[in-house]
């Protein structure tokens, strides 16, 4: 364990900039402190606890939209559209997937407009997403990429940012080095920069130097979307990213409608005021909090839990919401340490508990339809990594991130025996009420079938289980309300299911995968909090268990969480969690 001890000492000595326990997004929410105990006793009560934290967004919505930065973002989008300039969304992890969703929504709208608006083909390519690790990271996080601002700078340069463009750098906590790097690169190249985050500005500036530098740069417009702690401590894929989707999506939609009013008024819907967007979000959350909706959320949670308890698998199929479903499904792996999506041919690795498929198209077409463009994999050679001063471990083991690797994730309608040969298997179709007639076209035999639908009326479907959520989905050029509704549903269910599976203690995700410096810090803090030992001792034990888990994974076995393993090890030591022993 000498190497692990050395890595722990290096982290403690050199990476103090990644100690983020003072941030609001890393704190425990008082509403869900006893979530694991509550949901174990009563699923519905646990579901209501999770939904109550989404209420924080509703309560802050008027304030979020009232910021000067929101109005300036609309104006920047409008200027770029009039001038034919590019709009970039950059992010990492959950915000990287949000960036890709924003681009896909933009491109889908302009593709639909091509028969009606002569300028639509010119508008279609103007929106570009930049995610840490490229589109490969949509499926599986690329270890270490988010920790380096130079990686963000280089990816944005490769994407072609120029003077006059708009860069919206989105980071849940406001401190991600990769995203900060994209902001500085865009600024250096003369683009208009917006920095979007979900921690209080003053708190960030006080405790995180790299964030303070961005915040104090007057040429960068800040958009503080703070709503409070997350329902699961540090799980910014939930409330933080939901607020960012709501506000940034509303700004994009408003700019599109203004463009239509100027160029194609006969096609333009009415503009919505900031107050109306806030009201509509509160209405959506209210729809998803009714007794009937909570009952459906509870039944769906128990449906998935029962399958996983039998070591079974869930395969989702979707059409227009495929990217939304893929996002929630892939985020379960780093958050709850379940097996990630498995590439075709990697039969030595465990099969992912959940997967997604497009029932209508083969894999390459499915990727292009989902993204509304071909994938953008990275093809960085050794010289690129050297120029970017990548750590030796990355240079020695360069990740394969190109399109060929992306296409090895077989999300198309090809048969996949690994999804049906488990002890229990389920096919779950997800979509709007009028698009789930295709629930069974994949030539695979599942033990059970189900549908998840959102919309005004529950359709009649021939499936074993139908989970419907009656909610108002106002007309939207970028289908904003559909994206928000399915995100809220899937985030709630996947989180509740994993809590029921014992992957959360209280509201702490002790089964997280510490794949970057921020998560190593979070894991260390969780170990310290649960066991009562010092941060330093927790860090040392965590680095030991990270090495052990890596060895287990290399053998193709389903690995435990290094954090959970460290907690168990400390708790079972001769002196238990004695502070005398640990501190």
Q: Say yes or no: 185 and 137 in one domain.
A: yes
Residues 75 and 223 grouped into a single domain: yes
Token couple for 269: 């819907």
Of the three residues 456, 471, 500, the one that is the final residue of a domain is: 500
Instruction: Look at the chain and report how many structural domains it folds into.
Output: 3
Is the same domain home to 116 and 245? yes
- 168 shares a domain with 152: yes
Report how far apart, in Å, the C-alpha atoms of 467 and of each of 133, 283, 297, 299, 500 are.
35, 20, 8, 8, 19
Range of the domain at 224: 67-271
Give a yes or no: residue 59 inside a domain.
no
106 and 162 co-located in one domain: yes
For residue 465, give the CATH number of its domain.
Answer: 3.40.50
Alpha helices, DSSP H, located in 189-345: 201-207, 209-215, 239-263, 274-287, 291-309, 322-336
The C-alpha atoms of residue 416 and residue 420 are separated, in whole angstroms, by 8
Domain shared by 246 and 162, yes or no: yes
Could you tell me the CA-to-CA distances from 199 to 23, 234, 305 in Å, in that order?
7, 12, 33
Tokens encoding 468:
């419907």
| Helical packing angle, 274-287 and 239-263, nearest 10° | 130
| Sheet of strand 166-170: strand arrangement | 127-131, 87-91, 166-170, 192-197, 220-224
Task: Collect all residues with Cβ–Cβ distance below 8 Å to 118 and sequence separation of at least 6.
Answer: none
- Domain membership of residue 55 (yes or no) is no
* Residue 524 sits in the same domain as residue 493: no
207 and 298 together in one domain: no
56 falls within a domain:
no
Task: Identify whether 83 is part of a domain.
Answer: yes
Structure confidence at residue 11 (pLDDT): 87
Residue 514 within a domain: yes
- In tens digits, the chain (583 residues) has pLDDT values of 458 888 888 888 877 777 777 899 999 999 999 999 999 999 999 999 999 999 999 999 999 999 999 999 999 999 999 999 999 999 999 999 999 999 999 999 999 999 999 999 999 999 999 999 999 999 988 877 899 999 999 999 999 999 999 999 999 999 999 999 999 999 999 999 999 999 999 999 999 999 999 999 999 999 999 999 999 999 999 999 999 999 999 999 999 999 999 999 999 999 999 999 999 999 999 999 999 999 999 999 999 999 999 999 999 999 999 999 999 999 999 889 899 999 999 998 999 999 999 999 999 999 999 999 999 999 999 999 999 999 998 999 999 999 999 999 999 999 999 999 888 999 999 988 666 665 555 667 899 999 999 998 888 888 899 999 999 999 999 999 999 999 999 999 999 999 999 999 999 988 888 878 888 888 898 899 889 999 999 999 999 998 888 888 777 777 788 988 898 889 876 555 443 334 3
Q: Residue 40 and residue 35: Cα distance in Å, rounded?
A: 8
Q: Which of 271, 296, 317 is the last residue of a domain?
A: 271
106 and 171 co-located in one domain = yes
Q: What is the pTM of this model?
A: 0.92
Decide if 60 is inside a domain. Answer: no
Both tokens assigned to 354? 């959940």
CATH number at residue 180: 3.40.50.10490
The Cα angle at residue 253 between residues 250 and 256, in degrees rounded to 5: 150
Question: Does 231 lie in the same domain as 101?
Answer: yes
Backbone angles phi, psi at 238, to 5 degrees: -90, -105
Distances (CA, A) of 366 to 158, 280, 451: 25, 32, 20
Please check whether residue 280 lies inside any domain of the structure: no
Specify if 282 maps to a domain: no
136 plus 7 within the same structural domain:
no
Q: Output DSSP code: residue 170.
A: E
* Same-domain status, 520 and 450: no
């Amino acid at each position: 364990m000498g190497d692990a001890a050395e890595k722990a000492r290096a982290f403690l000595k050199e990476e103090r900039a990644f100690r983020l326990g003072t941030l609001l997004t890393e704190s425990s929410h008082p509403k869900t402190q006893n979530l694991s105990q509550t949901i174990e006793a009563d699923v519905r009560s646990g579901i209501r606890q999770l939904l109550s934290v989404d209420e924080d967004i509703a309560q802050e919505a008027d304030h979020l939209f009232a910021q000067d930065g929101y109005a300036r973002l609309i104006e920047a989008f409008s200027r770029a559209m009039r001038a034919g300039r590019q709009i970039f969304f950059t992010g990492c992890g959950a915000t990287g997937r949000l960036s890709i969703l924003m681009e896909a929504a933009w491109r889908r709208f302009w593709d639909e407009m091509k028969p009606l608006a002569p300028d639509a083909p010119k508008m279609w390519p103007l929106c570009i997403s930049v995610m840490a690790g490229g589109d490969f990271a949509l499926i599986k996080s690329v270890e270490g990429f988010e920790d380096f601002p130079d990686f963000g700078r280089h990816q944005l340069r490769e994407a072609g940012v120029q003077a006059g463009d708009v860069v919206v750098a989105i980071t849940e906590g406001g401190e991600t080095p990769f995203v900060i790097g994209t902001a500085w690169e865009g600024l250096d190249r003369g683009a208009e920069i917006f920095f979007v985050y979900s921690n209080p500005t003053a708190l960030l500036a006080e405790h995180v130097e790299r964030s303070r530098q961005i915040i104090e740069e007057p040429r960068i417009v800040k958009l503080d979307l703070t709503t409070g702690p997350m329902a699961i401590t540090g799980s910014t894929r939930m409330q933080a990213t939901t607020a960012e989707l709501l506000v940034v999506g509303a700004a994009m939609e408003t700019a599109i409608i203004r463009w239509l009013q100027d160029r194609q008024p006969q096609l333009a819907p009415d503009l919505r005021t900031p107050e109306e967007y806030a009201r509509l979000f509160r209405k959506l959350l209210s729809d998803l909090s009714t007794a009937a909706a909570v009952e459906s959320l509870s039944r769906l949670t128990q449906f998935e839990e029962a399958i996983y308890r039998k070591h079974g698998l869930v395969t989702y199929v979707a059409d227009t919401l495929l990217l939304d479903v893929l996002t929630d499904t892939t985020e379960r792996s780093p958050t709850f340490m379940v097996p990630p999506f498995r590439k075709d041919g990697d039969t030595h690795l465990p099969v992912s508990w959940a997967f997604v498929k497009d029932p209508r198209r083969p894999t390459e077409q499915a990727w292009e339809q989902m993204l509304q463009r071909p994938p953008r994999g990275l093809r960085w050679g050794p010289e690129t990594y050297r120029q970017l001063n990548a750590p030796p471990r990355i240079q020695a083991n360069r990740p394969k991130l190109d399109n060929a690797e992306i296409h090895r994730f077989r999300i198309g309608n090809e048969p996949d025996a690994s999804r049906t040969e488990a002890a229990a298997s389920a096919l779950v179709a997800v979509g709007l009420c009028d698009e789930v007639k295709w629930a069974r076209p994949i030539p695979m035999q599942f033990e059970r079938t189900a549908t998840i639908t959102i919309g005004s009326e529950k359709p009649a479907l021939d499936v074993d289980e139908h989970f419907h959520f009656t909610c108002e989905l106002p007309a939207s050029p970028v289908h904003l309300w559909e994206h928000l509704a399915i995100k809220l549903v899937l985030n709630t269910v996947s989180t509740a299911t994993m809590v029921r599976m014992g992957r959360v203690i209280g509201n702490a995700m002790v089964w997280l995968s510490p794949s970057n410096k921020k998560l190593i810090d979070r894991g260390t803090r969780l170990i310290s909090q649960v066991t009562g030992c010092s941060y330093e001792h927790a860090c040392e034990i965590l680095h030991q268990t990270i090495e052990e888990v890596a060895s287990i994974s290399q053998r193709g076995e389903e690995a435990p969480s290094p954090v959970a393993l460290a907690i168990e090890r400390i708790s079972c030591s001769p002196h238990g969690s004695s502070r005398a022993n640990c501190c």
